[in-house]
């Protein structure tokens, strides 16, 4: 075993040897690789799905139809059914596409759709997938009807986390911002937009973790606007074909073997408990009855320019999505309800919330607790603003991690060994304007990432979303954070108290509930190291 004194030079030498691999291709993109321009289906009303939807659009005077998907089961089933019904095109844009049960099943269905002639375009961000799914994505792209592109890819050792982090910090500023958008579009006449990525935890199929999330299914004229947003990203210079990132291409035998693997996975899923949950779900029953209660209203698509990731401070570009969303919230006359998985208002946000409160606007925010969050470092950024937010009269609620009675928006209770986490990004203004999308109320969404979402002006949809919010902040699901009290000799606050209900009794906690001292201290320390703009 080498002496400790010899380890430092050995480590330094290893870093020097790895540096060329880390830097190779970091700052440049393979822009010369063929990338044909393509666009959404021109005449969606000519498809069977389009004809059915168009009849409803005419009946509702050209408005679009909207349906909230709070249940993970229903959200996944909606995507599967959209794939099965598609005749001409399927366009998917996601930050994360996991190689798990739901990811493999959806990939299998996409390949099946391509085999019957449907054109499939799949656009993924490179941070979560970098290198890990390249081979599988390349094999499904062997089908001539499937094209996969990667947004803003890394170079060098793409599979290695530290390589990606090194590149983002020291090499290419363009790599710090990521494509956080989430879109699913079938035949340019049905779309699903919201907070969910593709993965078991987003659809209630992962035993140890379940995200409370929200999607919005849309049909009618607004779908064309959503497709326009997708096309802008698909044809962007930063969207690189997956084959351009591979050193070798899969053989026909490998591709056929992968196809058989996906088919076998599908067969095993069909007899599983998850499949039965889908069959028994609320959406499935409504579809069997031939009835889905869409809310017909006017909607607006919000999305960032894809080049925001490399030009975050370019004021000459289109107004950033965050500014547009802020202007809509500023229309509030009485109340703003916000659900944000990661909530860091920052100094500007604090000034904005203070202005809302000075106008008499009620502000309520539901976010993760330190015990429930899947990204603990963001809690350090949020925690430094809690007292100030409460001081101006905002109401704060933090999701519980895993109570036995946890039901939130999903029908299925979590077991005692499971953990619930909030992942939704929703804002409700005066209970009649609803935003559902990928945008968190934090600096990363505002300045670094690209985001998307839909704003719907409807009292009916507002009432539905408010009901979900009220369920989320109920004592069975959340802690209400309050100021413990003022000092008898000064105006300084003593601290915070987390108020909830357990076994029918009100319970108070005087530090972040259900967390140990190590988690609290480590989060506080790490949040001091990470710039707030990157959280």
Catalytic residues: 180, 182, 187, 423, 425, 430
Q: How far apart are CA 373 and CA 424, in angstroms?
A: 12
Three-state helix/strand/coil letters over 274-290: HHHHHHHCHHHHHHHCC
Q: How far apart are CA 164 and CA 157, in angstroms?
A: 8
Q: Supply the DSSP symbol for 198.
A: B
Closest C-alpha among 453, 9, 446, 433 to residue 192: 453
Q: How far apart are CA 175 and CA 163, in angstroms?
A: 12
N residues, the chain: 535
Q: How far apart are CA 320 and CA 316, in angstroms?
A: 10
Closest C-alpha among 102, 105, 32 to residue 261: 105
Q: How far apart are CA 74 and CA 76, in angstroms?
A: 5
Full DSSP string of 25-49: TTS---TTS--------S-GGGSHH
- For the chain, how long is the longest CA-to-CA vector? 80
Residues 6+ positions from 59 with CB-CB distance below 8 Å? none
């Amino acid at each position: 075993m080498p002496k400790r004194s010899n380890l430092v030079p050995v480590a330094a030498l290893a870093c020097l040897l790895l540096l060329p691999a880390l830097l190779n291709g970091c700052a440049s993109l393979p822009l010369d690789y063929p990338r044909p321009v393509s666009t959404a289906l021109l005449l969606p009303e000519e498809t069977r799905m389009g004809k059915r939807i168009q009849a409803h659009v005419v009946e509702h005077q050209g408005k679009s139809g909207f349906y909230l998907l709070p249940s993970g089961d229903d959200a996944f089933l909606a995507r599967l059914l959209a794939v099965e019904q598609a005749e001409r095109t399927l366009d998917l844009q996601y930050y994360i596409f996991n190689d798990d049960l739901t990811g493999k099943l959806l990939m299998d269905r996409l390949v099946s759709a391509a085999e019957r002639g449907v054109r499939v375009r799949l656009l993924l961000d490179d941070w979560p997938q970098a290198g890990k799914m390249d081979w599988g994505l390349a094999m499904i792209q062997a089908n001539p009807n499937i094209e996969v592109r990667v947004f803003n890819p890394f170079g060098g050792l793409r599979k290695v986390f530290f390589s990606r982090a090194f590149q983002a910090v020291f090499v290419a500023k363009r790599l710090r911002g990521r494509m956080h958008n989430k879109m699913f579009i079938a035949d340019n006449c049905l779309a699903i937009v919201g907070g969910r990525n593709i993965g078991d935890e987003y659809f209630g199929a992962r035993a140890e973790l379940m995200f409370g999330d929200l999607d919005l299914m849309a049909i009618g004229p607004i779908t064309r606007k959503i497709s326009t947003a997708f096309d802008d990203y698909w044809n962007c210079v930063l969207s690189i074909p997956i084959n351009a990132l591979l050193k070798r291409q899969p053989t026909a035998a490998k591709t056929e073997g992968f196809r058989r693997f996906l088919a076998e996975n599908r067969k095993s899923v069909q007899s599983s408990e998850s499949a039965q949950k889908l069959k028994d779900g609320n959406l499935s029953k409504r579809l069997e009855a031939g009835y889905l209660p869409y809310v017909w209203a006017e909607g607006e698509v919000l999305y960032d320019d894809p080049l925001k990731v490399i030009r975050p401070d370019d004021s000459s570009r289109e107004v950033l999505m965050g500014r547009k969303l802020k202007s809509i919230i500023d229309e509030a006359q009485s109340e703003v309800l916000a659900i944000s998985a990661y909530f860091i208002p920052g100094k500007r946000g604090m000034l904005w919330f203070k202005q809302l409160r000075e106008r008499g606007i009620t502000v309520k925010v539901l976010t993760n607790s330190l015990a429930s969050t899947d990204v603990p470092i963001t809690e350090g950024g949020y925690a430094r603003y809690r007292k100030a937010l409460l001081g101006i009269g905002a109401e704060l609620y933090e999701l519980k991690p895993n109570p036995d009675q946890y039901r939130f928006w999903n029908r299925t209770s979590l077991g005692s060994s499971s953990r619930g986490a909030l992942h939704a990004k929703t804002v409700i203004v005066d209970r009649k304007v609803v935003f559902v999308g990928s945008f968190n109320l934090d600096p990363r969404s505002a300045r670094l990432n690209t985001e998307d979402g839909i704003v719907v002006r409807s009292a009916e949809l507002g009432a539905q979303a408010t009901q979900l919010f009220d369920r989320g902040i109920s004592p069975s699901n959340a802690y209400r954070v309050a100021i413990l009290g003022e000092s008898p000799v000064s105006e300084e606050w003593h601290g915070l108290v987390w108020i909830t209900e357990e076994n029918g009794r009100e319970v108070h906690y005087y530090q972040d509930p259900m967390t140990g001292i190590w988690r609290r201290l480590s989060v506080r320390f790490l949040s001091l190291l990470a710039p707030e703009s990157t959280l």
